[in-house]
Amino acid sequence: MSTRPDLPEALGRFLSYHRDELGHSPLTAKGYRADLEGLLVDDQGVLDWEAFDLPMLKRKLAKTLRSGGAATTVSRKVAALKSFAKLGLREGWFEVDPTLALTVPKKSKRLVEVVSAPNIEKAIASEMALEDASKEDVPRQRHLRTRVLLELLWGSGLRLAELVGLDWSRVDLLQATLLVMGKGRKERLVPLTDPAVQALRSWKSSGASHPTVVFPGRTGRIGRSTVEREVERALGLPEGAAHWPHALRHSFATHLLDGGADLVSVKSLLGHSSLAATQVYTHVSVERLKKAYLQAHPRA
């Protein structure tokens, strides 16, 4: 086994490994590193190779579950540990994989959240009305921007990171398409709805946009929290409902399937690597059909 670097240095190399070799977004890479930093500390909170001890790690993961942590959170932490072990084996930091006996907890089967089409249409119409009624540039531009955000999240099924990272060079308003950089730095071409094209044209000429970045912010690009806050405001959701931008992507897929789109096409539009990730939306559609049946049929 080669000499191990200091653990902070090893975690830095792990960050580069995810970002540069695996093609993960900087946010995803930092998330994995943060998970490891929370696990690989001793009783004094100092990063220590000795903390990479299987019984100790199992106790920490079990404590996360007992304290109310979701199974998905623990699964992500286990994935970070396994990825770090894989890099460590390659670099000679470990002689054997110390995570082989770590198992991923079963995820609870929970239907994805979907916003109804009428509710989204109502939110978009409301933003347009507020935009038209605004007499000052700043509020008018804010409502226009929110309308564009809703049109892209619902109309094109973008992930939040894809939306934030969107550049004008990848927007073709004549062909009504977007070239999106998805997970693993995989590109895909997605269509734009006619209302989205019109909204983007208005946004581009509003004076609030940027020559390069579609949605500029104080530090270069609009912040994810800003998008989350604007979406929950527009949809009339309770404060802190930060999962709702992604729920519009769920709605995009579900509404397509409800309208008769085939699963393979929806998979391609979402940028999923396998059909298994897309099939969850078929369950949503079936549940919606069951609910409609139970509400409408006299014998149900």
Alpha-carbon separation of residue 151 from 148, 161, 198 (angstroms):
5, 16, 10
208, part of any domain: yes
What is the pLDDT at residue 300?
45
My answer on whether 52 and 127 are in the same domain is no
69, part of any domain: yes
Beta strands in 88-195 (DSSP E): 171-172, 177-181, 187-191
* Catalytic-labelled residue, pool 159, 221, 250, 255: 159
143, part of any domain: yes
Q: In this predicted model, what pLDDT tens digit does every residue of 217-273 receive, in sequence order?
A: 888 899 988 998 898 889 886 555 445 667 888 888 888 888 888 878 888 888 877
- b/e for 179-216, b at 16 or more Cβ within 10 A? ebbbeeeeeeebebeebbbebbebbbeeebbeeebbbe
My answer on whether 87 and 127 are in the same domain is no
My answer on whether 245 and 132 are in the same domain is yes
Q: In this predicted model, what pLDDT tens digit does every residue of 11-36 receive, in sequence order?
A: 899 888 888 888 877 878 888 888 88
My answer on whether 164 and 84 are in the same domain is no
Q: Quick check: pTM over 0.75?
A: no
The CATH number of residue 165's host domain is 1.10.443.10
Annotated catalytic, 246? yes
268, part of any domain: no
Annotated catalytic, 59? no
103, part of any domain: no
The DSSP H or E segment spanning 74 is helix 71-91
My answer on whether 132 and 63 are in the same domain is no
236, part of any domain: yes
My answer on whether 131 and 201 are in the same domain is yes
My answer on whether 143 and 231 are in the same domain is yes
My answer on whether 59 and 14 are in the same domain is yes
Q: In this predicted model, what pLDDT tens digit does every residue of 48-90 receive, in sequence order?
A: 888 888 888 888 888 877 776 667 778 888 888 888 889 989 9
* Catalytic-labelled residue, pool 77, 249, 250, 255: 249
CA–CA dist 113, 227 (Å, integer): 18
8-state DSSP, 20: I
Annotated catalytic, 272? yes
The CATH number of residue 52's host domain is 1.10.150
* Catalytic-labelled residue, pool 86, 170, 183, 288: 183
Q: In this predicted model, what pLDDT tens digit does every residue of 88-121 receive, in sequence order?
A: 899 989 888 888 877 766 555 444 577 888 999 9
pLDDT band at 277 (very low <50, low <70, confident <90, very high): low
Domain enclosing residue 19, as ranges: 7-91
My answer on whether 231 and 142 are in the same domain is yes
Q: Which of 211, 234, 249 finishes a domain? A: 249
My answer on whether 63 and 130 are in the same domain is no
Is the pLDDT higher at 146 or at 27? 146
pLDDT of residue 9 exceeding 60: yes
Domain count, the chain: 2
Mean pLDDT taken over the chain: 82
215, part of any domain: yes
Annotated catalytic, 159? yes
My answer on whether 171 and 235 are in the same domain is yes
